[in-house]
């Protein structure tokens, strides 16, 4: 037999051996088969106990969320469905995964989840700030960066994006979402899902996304947390569901049920939202995980008498996985045996979880490859994305007399600039809440950034001046001395990162009294004041705005820290941010948001004691240049329902420096069988417009998409009649005819 024949025989025997092995191999382990076939095969092999364990999520490692101190799980069963993973290297995760793959009868891998909200180790700005950038592609890049760091650290699934429309700054979780508008939350939701999941969930750089908190959590009464939300079905469909519908269409694999009670039926036992809408209407084929202990919390909410009833209600409502609630693992088997939970529901739930695990490639690649932290964390390209996003998130709220920028190109200045306030040397506070594995030492200090930015071009005089809160005014005198020597005062004020986020409710959103007193005290020196704010919620600035010549909202920028705002203050960066949430004058105006419905008496019914308008409205943001809006035009002024048209407006940069402008496009339906808000955001576009340049901004209007509305049952309708397209203070009438 010659060499070729030998090789041929070996080859054939390998083929037949492989075929034999595959023939031996259970179908679900055959990666060449379609996911649904593998799910069916595996499900058919599972016992009830194995199925039920897939429906539970415990924690692995020290829980870092003090709001969720649950019992530490001692011996974790190898057949558990999921674990929350608090590590930032994959070793512990892989060891646990090895138990699942090798010790359990069917070798079903675990899925590891974690709160990667605005970064894993490279922390980028809080979501509320990101939305002010109106740069969805940059947000997508940031989420892709976070996904890479997470997946390579052992996390397959992030509990993000948070897309709860919120209009009450007293609610600390307003920091976690994309502001007050449904369309904006939907747009950034899609960007986040695309960033996290990409187009191949099996990629070692991608993670499964989780839309949360489903649904209406942002309507928490009085801004409290974990409480009742009064949401009509009309408002549910109009305001709170659109971001979720967009996220599901974008392919989000999972959804997290919310803590709040939705008009008498808690989010975590709500069949209408989790099954009728999510599964039956939107055909979501992934799964719903509860928020932490939201299943047993049904008892506290008065919906269930005990854990067993809570398990029955939640599970039959369409909640597939119990996060640390210890109700499913304890009660589901009995509920099935008692006929209170149908086996079909168990199978559907397990199918959904297995489907996501197959899609993530966990059966083929259950282990996270080892790697050096330096190979994935704080990479230059990641930090660059975070820095650009932080720059574009900064909102110039006020700039009286053009006091900013403090330096003009090429100009030097021997001016003395006082730099004061509790945030100047508080890097940790700039990370914001839910900062994952972020570290204070990763944050670029404000002091250092300013020193570098103004080196040789101005004299910086530093003094803390005042604390975040409390009543220690002992440093005021020293601060006054410094202020007297300065030509301009930079006051870095705002919030600690722990003042916003979960369970961070504040009765007032004014700055703490001592900060307001400090600003007033500094005002007595008679020098221009630039107030720079770092905060995790909209603030009521009515009491300090008159004291400040300029106000810069820098939010909580993450690792870029002080560099972006130093660039804005010097003029190196032309601010382009615009508010994604309304800033009221006082807390008493809450809830306040732009897309309110119309008043019966528009000229009446206002506050007697203050102007009823916001201090800074949704979409407000100044630039160092001036953008002149030309004439709004419509390609057609009368169309049939199915006919598209294009609205356009030229925007000219009439100033001396280049700038990026975001154009917000609104629609208005003055008369509708279900009343509509004054105006509603339906498109936005951001472009760089160089000095002297004119750029055309466009909005391709599809009436069925942009001018139709939903009724209380979620049925979409488009009425013939008169509509307005609104942009830049202009509006154009559009007729929709039969
Ligand atoms: C928390 C939060 C939720 C988070 C979960 C896991 O209580 O409500 O946003 O994803 O628990 O940490």
CATH number for the domain spanning 67: value is 3.20.20.300
Same-domain pairing of 10 and 77: no
Same-domain pairing of 18 and 82: no
Same-domain pairing of 97 and 217: yes
Going by alpha carbons, the residue nearest to atom 11 of ligand 1 is 292
Same-domain pairing of 162 and 191: yes
Give dist(CA 491, CA 496) in Å, integer: 15
Give dist(CA 650, CA 637) in Å, integer: 18
Alpha-carbon dihedral of residues 299, 301, 303, 306, nearest 10 degrees? 0
Q: Tell how far the Cα of 93 is from the centroid of ligand 1, in angstroms.
A: 20
Active site residues: 291
Check which CATH number belongs to the domain holding 471 and give it: 3.40.50.1700
DSSP labels for 431-452?
G-SS-TT--GGGS--HHHHHHH
Going by alpha carbons, the residue nearest to atom 7 of ligand 1 is 292
Instruction: Specify if 580 maps to a domain.
Output: no
Q: What is the pLDDT of residue 24?
A: 76
Same-domain pairing of 228 and 362: yes
pTM listed for this prediction: 0.96
H-only helix segments in 198-236: 233-235
Q: Tell how far the Cα of 434 is from the centroid of ligand 1, in angstroms.
A: 10
Check which CATH number belongs to the domain holding 662 and give it: 2.60.40.10
Same-domain pairing of 337 and 189: yes
CB of 687 sitting under 6 A from ligand 1:
no
Total domains, the chain? 4
Give dist(CA 661, CA 700) in Å, integer: 18
Structural domain harbouring 13: 1-30
Same-domain pairing of 135 and 284: yes
Going by alpha carbons, the residue nearest to atom 12 of ligand 1 is 115
Same-domain pairing of 26 and 82: no
Determine the atom of ligand 1 nearest the C-alpha atom of 212: 9
- Which of residues 340, 373, 406 is at a domain's end? 373
DSSP state of 455: T
Q: What is the pLDDT of residue 629?
A: 98
Residue 562 token pair: 């002080």
Determine the atom of ligand 1 nearest the C-alpha atom of 115: 10
Same-domain pairing of 275 and 423: no
Ligand 1 pocket: which of 57, 63, 68 to mutate (most atoms within 8 A of CB): 68
Instruction: Specify if 326 maps to a domain.
Output: yes
Same-domain pairing of 430 and 362: no
Instruction: Specify if 245 maps to a domain.
Output: yes
Distance from CA of residue 150 to its chain's centroid? Answer: 16
Q: What is the pLDDT of residue 738?
A: 84
CB of 502 sitting under 6 A from ligand 1:
yes
Same-domain pairing of 23 and 62: no
DSSP labels for 575-596?
-----SS-B-SSGGG-S--SSP
Residue 80 token pair: 């558990």
Residue ranges in the chain modelled with pLDDT below 50: none
Instruction: Specify if 185 maps to a domain.
Output: yes
Same-domain pairing of 26 and 42: no
Instruction: Specify if 612 maps to a domain.
Output: no
Q: What is the pLDDT of residue 148?
A: 98
Instruction: Specify if 381 maps to a domain.
Output: no
Ligand 1 pocket: which of 83, 292, 434, 435 to mutate (most atoms within 8 A of CB): 292
Helix (H) or strand (E) holding 261: strand 261-262
Instruction: Specify if 526 maps to a domain.
Output: yes
DSSP state of 238: I
Instruction: Specify if 125 maps to a domain.
Output: yes
Q: What is the pLDDT of residue 408?
A: 76
């Amino acid at each position: 037999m010659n060499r070729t024949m030998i090789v041929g025989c070996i080859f054939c025997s390998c083929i037949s051996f492989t075929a034999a092995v595959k023939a031996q191999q259970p179908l679900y382990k055959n990666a060449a088969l379609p996911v649904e076939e593998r799910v069916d095969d595996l499900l058919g092999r599972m016992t009830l106990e194995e199925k039920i364990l897939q429906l539970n999520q415990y924690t692995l490692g020290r829980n870092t969320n003090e709001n969720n101190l649950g019992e530490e799980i001692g011996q974790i069963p190898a057949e558990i469905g999921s674990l929350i993973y608090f590590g930032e290297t994959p070793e512990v995760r892989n060891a646990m995964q090895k138990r699942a793959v090798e010790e359990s009868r069917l070798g079903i891998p675990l899925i590891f989840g974690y709160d990667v909200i605005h970064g894993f180790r490279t922390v980028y700005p809080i979501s509320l700030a990101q939305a002010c950038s109106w740069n969805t592609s940059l947000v997508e890049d940031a989420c892709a960066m976070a996904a890479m760091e997470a997946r390579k650290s052992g996390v397959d699934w992030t509990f993000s994006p948070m897309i709860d429309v919120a209009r009450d700054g007293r609610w600390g979780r307003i920091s976690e979402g994309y502001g007050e508008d449904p369309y904006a939350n939907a747009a950034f939701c899609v960007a986040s899902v695309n960033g996290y999941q990409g187009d191949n969930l099996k990629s070692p750089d991608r993670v499964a996304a989780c839309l949360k908190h489903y649904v209406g959590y942002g309507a928490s009464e009085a801004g409290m947390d974990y409480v009742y939300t009064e949401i009509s079905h009309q408002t549910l469909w109009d305001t709170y569901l659109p971001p979720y519908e967009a996220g599901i269409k974008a392919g989000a694999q999972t959804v997290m049920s919310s803590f709040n009670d939705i008009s008498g039926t808690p989010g975590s036992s709500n069949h209408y939202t989790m099954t009728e809408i999510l599964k039956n209407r939107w055909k979501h084929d992934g799964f719903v995980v509860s928020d932490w202990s939201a299943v047993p919390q049904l008892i506290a909410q008065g919906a269930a008498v005990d854990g067993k009833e809570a398990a029955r209600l939640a599970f039959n409502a369409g909640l597939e996985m119990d996060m640390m609630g210890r109700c499913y693992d304890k009660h589901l088997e009995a509920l099935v045996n008692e006929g209170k939970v149908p086996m079909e529901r168990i199978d559907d739930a397990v199918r959904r979880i297995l489907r996501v695990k197959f899609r993530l490639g966990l059966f083929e690649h259950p282990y996270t490859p080892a790697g050096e932290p330096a190979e994935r964390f704080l990479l230059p390209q990641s930090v660059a994305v975070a820095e650009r996003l932080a720059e574009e998130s900064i909102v110039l709220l006020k700039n009286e007399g053009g006091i900013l920028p403090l330096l003009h190109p090429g100009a030097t200045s021997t001016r003395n600039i006082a730099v004061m306030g509790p945030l100047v040397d508080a890097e940790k506070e700039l990370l914001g809440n839910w900062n994952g594995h972020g570290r204070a030492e990763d944050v670029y200090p404000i002091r250092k950034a300013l020193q570098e930015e103004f080196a040789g071009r101005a004299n910086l005089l530093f003094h803390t001046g005042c604390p975040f809160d409390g009543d220690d005014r002992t440093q005021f005198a020293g601060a006054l001395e410094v202020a007297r020597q300065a030509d301009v005062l930079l006051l870095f004020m705002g919030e600690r990162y722990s003042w916003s986020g979960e369970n961070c409710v504040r009765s007032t959103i004014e700055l703490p009294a001592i900060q307001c007193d400090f600003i007033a005290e500094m005002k007595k020196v008679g020098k221009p004041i630039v107030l720079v704010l770092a905060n995790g919620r909209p603030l009521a600035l009515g009491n300090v705005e008159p004291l400040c010549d300029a106000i810069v909202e820098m939010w909580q920028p993450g690792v870029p820290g002080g560099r972006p705002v130093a660039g804005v203050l010097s003029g190196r960066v032309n601010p382009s941010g615009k508010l994604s949430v309304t800033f009221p004058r006082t807390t008493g105006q809450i809830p306040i948001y732009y897309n309110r419905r119309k008043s019966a008496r528009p000229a009446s019914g206002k506050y007697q004691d203050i102007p009823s308008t916001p201090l800074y409205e949704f979409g407000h943001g100044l630039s160092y240049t001036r953008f002149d809006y030309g004439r709004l035009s419509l390609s057609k002024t009368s169309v049939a329902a199915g006919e598209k048209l294009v609205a356009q407006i030229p925007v000219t940069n009439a100033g001396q420096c280049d700038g990026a402008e975001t154009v917000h496009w609104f629609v208005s339906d003055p008369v509708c069988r279900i009343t509509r808000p004054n105006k509603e955001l339906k498109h936005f576009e951001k472009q760089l417009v160089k000095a002297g340049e004119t750029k055309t901004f466009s909005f391709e209007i599809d009436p069925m998409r942009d001018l139709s509305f939903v009724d209380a049952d979620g049925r979409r309708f488009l009425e013939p009649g008169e509509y307005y397209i609104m942009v830049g203070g202009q509006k154009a009438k559009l007729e929709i005819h039969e």
